[in-house]
Amino acid sequence: MELSIIHERIHEIRGKKVILDKDLAELYGVETRVLKQAVRRNIQRFPEDFMFEINEDEIQKMVSQIVIPSKQYFGGAKPFAFTEQGIAMLSSVLHSEKAIQVNIAIMRAFVLMRQYALNFQELALKIQELEKTYDKTFDDVFDVLNHLLKKDKQLEQQTKREKIGFKK
């Protein structure tokens, strides 16, 4: 399974990266109601940090940000959102060979996203270090420019001031 297909289905809700039940059901090749039924039968395996039900405000936000076309996308039911741990737990609830292969691909997608995030953080730190270095360099440049400007102003002031002493 292509990681880009999975990556497109990962959303951020409540500050967590999640995949919605409808998308997971499609990836697993089962109906959404079958997936939800399996989860409800094993609800003790899915604490809040593994899976949560999306509320109306979150659905509206997803519609307004064009993440989903409309509320009808969910068929009238509030969707479940599964975190990486919840998706891993799904493999113990759904026993098909396809579910196992899809879970492996999804775990790889989440790992890649974490690696990108770490690389991004490292890059951001390097940029901050460079900015500090450049700030110091620019401070020196600004000091020199200010000195030169002051020197020019002093020279200008000296030529403009009224001369004292013997006048012809």
Instruction: Please state, in angstroms and rounded to a whole number, the distance separating the CA atoms of residues 96 and 125.
Output: 44
Question: What pLDDT, on a 0 to 100 scale, did the predictor assign at position 97?
Answer: 76
Question: What pLDDT, on a 0 to 100 scale, did the predictor assign at position 153?
Answer: 63
What are the residue ranges spanned by the domains of the chain? 3-115
Q: Are 45 and 81 in contact (CB under 8 A)?
A: no
- Is the pLDDT reported for residue 117 higher than 80? no
**CATH code for residues 3-115:** 3.10.260
What's the whole-number mean pLDDT along residues 154-162? Answer: 67
Phi (first) and psi of residue 69, to 5 degrees: -65, -40
- Is the pLDDT reported for residue 21 higher than 70? yes
- Is the pLDDT reported for residue 1 higher than 60? no
**Between these two residues, 19 and 144, which has the higher pLDDT value?**
19
Question: What pLDDT, on a 0 to 100 scale, did the predictor assign at position 111?
Answer: 81
Question: What pLDDT, on a 0 to 100 scale, did the predictor assign at position 50?
Answer: 93
- CA-based torsion, 72, 78, 79, 81: positive or negative: positive
**Residue 57: CB atoms within 10 Å:** 8
- Is the pLDDT reported for residue 140 higher than 80? no
Q: Give the strands of the sheet with 80-82, arranged side by side.
A: 10-13, 16-20, 80-82, 51-53
* Maximum alpha-carbon separation in the chain: 110
Question: Model confidence at 135, in pLDDT bands (50, 70, 90)?
Answer: low
What's the whole-number mean pLDDT along residues 90-97? Answer: 78
Candidates 44, 49, 45, 54; CA nearest to 21 is 54
CA angle, residues 67, 73, 77, in degrees to nearest 5: 115
Question: What pLDDT, on a 0 to 100 scale, did the predictor assign at position 82?
Answer: 94
Question: What pLDDT, on a 0 to 100 scale, did the predictor assign at position 137?
Answer: 61
CA dihedral 11, 17, 21, 24 (to 10 degrees): 90
State pTM to two decimals.
Answer: 0.61
Candidates 111, 90, 114; CA nearest to 101 is 90
Please name the residue that has the structure tokens 């109601």: 33
Question: Model confidence at 166, in pLDDT bands (50, 70, 90)?
Answer: low
- Is the pLDDT reported for residue 118 higher than 80? no
Q: Are 97 and 29 in contact (CB under 8 A)?
A: no
